[in-house]
Amino acid sequence: MKLDNATILKLAEHLENAELQAHDVTKITDDYPDMDWDDAYAIQDEIRRRKEARGNKVAGLKCGLTSFAKMKQMGVETPVFGFVADYMSRPDGGEIKHSELIHPKVEAEICIVTKAPLKGPGCHVGTVMAAVDFVLPAVEIIDSRYRDFKFDLKSVIADNTSSSRFVIGGNMRNLDELDLRTLGVVLEINGEIKAMAAGAAVLGHPLAAVAMLANHLGARGQEIPAGTFIMTGGVTEAIPVAKGDNVNVRFQELGNVSFRFA
Ligand code: 0L1
Ligand code: MG
């Protein structure tokens, strides 16, 4: 690690305040160009600790930048990992206050809940398949705290991978009823199709993202517990949204997820 503990704490407070007060900041690597990957995840861990100390719960884990479309959109080649907290959840069919966010974008995600722990190294799609309890659809609302969504990977990891809101659909399915690679997704805003893709857009198979997450945590002496909700990453590029927009995502076999920006 390149940053001392006091700097980790200061940067976590700085980024979490930007999230909670909905204001943007410049990317932290501008001021700390030597920070490394461990520093970035240590800042994210401190943000998680701050939320838990305030009484919030971790509601799930997320993989980000896992689709070829998103990697291209953001000019990166490596997935990142973060978490979503309970207060970020909004109901299917409900409203999200645009004024509570900086410059939100939406992305459609194939999600799972685990029924057994997953611990890397050595996890792969087959290991993950054995640990999946059920599959369900969700839409993530990302909201980078960085001005104009301009960041590098270390900055975005420290910023908890732009987590801000998520909406889970109510239709769960067993994995053996689905082929996640060919599962189609159509993202509409105000009735207009903005993006579409199939599950294979996520690293060839959405569960490959979960395997990467398990291996990433395993390298840090951690595991994915049974009963964990995991978002495998946007299948398409993320689409910016404005106040008043109606979002509807059609997931083949998994139903629709819809909500409105009020
Ligand atoms: O969930 C995501 O893919 C977000 C990753 C962070 C980068 C971004 O804000 O697009
Ligand atoms: Mg995402």
Pairing of strands 58-64, 229-234: parallel
Question: Model confidence over 154-166: pLDDT tens digits?
Answer: 999 999 999 999 9
Does any ligand 1 atom lie closer than 6 A to the CB of residue 96? no
Residue closest by Cα to atom 6 of ligand 1: 161
| H helix runs in the chain, sequence order | 5-21, 37-53, 68-74, 125-131, 153-158, 206-218
Is 4 a residue whose pLDDT tops 90? yes
DSSP sequence for 72-113: HHHT--S-EEEEEEGGGEE-TT-EE-GGGSSS-EEEEEEEEE
Question: Model confidence over 175-232: pLDDT tens digits?
Answer: 999 999 999 999 999 999 999 999 999 999 999 999 999 999 999 999 999 999 999 9
Residues with C-beta atoms within 5 A of ion ligand 2: 64, 140, 234
Q: Check residue 204 and give its pLDDT.
A: 96
Residues 41 and 213: their CA atoms lie apart, in Å, by 13
How do the domains of the chain map onto residue ranges?
A: 58-261
Is 73 a residue whose pLDDT tops 90? no
Kindly state the average pLDDT of the residues 109-136: 98
Distance 64 CA to ligand 1 centre (A): 5
Q: How confident is the model at residue 241 (pLDDT cuts 50, 70, 90)?
A: very high
Mutation choice for ligand 1 from 76, 153, 162, CB with most ligand atoms inside 8 A: 162
pTM over 0.95: yes
Does any ligand 1 atom lie closer than 6 A to the CB of residue 80? yes
Q: How confident is the model at residue 77 (pLDDT cuts 50, 70, 90)?
A: confident
Burial of 221 (C-beta count, 10 Å sphere; 0-12/13-18/19+): exposed
CATH architecture of 58-261: Alpha-Beta Complex (3.90)
Looking at all shown ligands, the one closest to residue 66's CA atom is: 1
Distance 232 CA to ligand 1 centre (A): 11
Does any ligand 1 atom lie closer than 6 A to the CB of residue 70? yes
Q: Which atom of ligand 1 is nearest to the CA of 63?
A: 1
Asked if residue 121 has a cis previous peptide bond (ω within 30° of 0), the answer is yes
Is 70 a residue whose pLDDT tops 90? no
Does any ligand 1 atom lie closer than 6 A to the CB of residue 64? yes
Does any ligand 1 atom lie closer than 6 A to the CB of residue 104? no
Residue-averaged pLDDT of the chain: 97
